[in-house]
Structure 1
Amino acid sequence: MAGGSVVERFGSDELEQRRLPGIASGETVMAFAITEPNAGSDSHNISVNAKKVGG
C-alpha cells in the first residue's frame, strides 16, 4: 500500500486535504518507518499485545 493510500484509507478529512495533493503531485515525499523487532520490513507481520493496567 503506497503512502497516499494509507492517508486516504486511515487519515482524517483534514489530513487528506492537507497531504494528498502534494503526495499526488510529487511535491511531498511520504515515508513509512517500521520499528517492530519481529516484523523486519513486512509491515503486515506486526503483532500487537495489550495488557490491562489498573481499573
Structure 2
Amino acid sequence: MKRKTLSQANPHLRDAKKAARQRIRSVASSTAIETGEPVHDIEKKIRHFESSKPRVTLA
C-alpha cells in the first residue's frame, strides 16, 4: 500500500495557497503573543520577506 504525503492526506493542506496563508497566520499569532505586536503587522512583514528577492547569490 502506497503511503500518502501529509499534504495529500490532510484535507486542510490540499489547497497550497490556503495552507500557506494558514502557516503565516499561525507564525504571526504566536509571534504576536510573545512580542505584543499586532498579528496583522507581523503578517505583513512575513509576506514582504517572502516576496523579496534573495540578496545572496550562491555559486
Smaller-chain TM-score bracket: under 0.3
Higher relative contact order (CA 8 A, sep 6+): 1
User: TM-score of the superposition, structure 2-length normalised?
Assistant: 0.25
User: TM-score of the superposition, structure 1-length normalised?
Assistant: 0.26
Question: Whose helix proportion is higher, 1 or 2?
Answer: 2
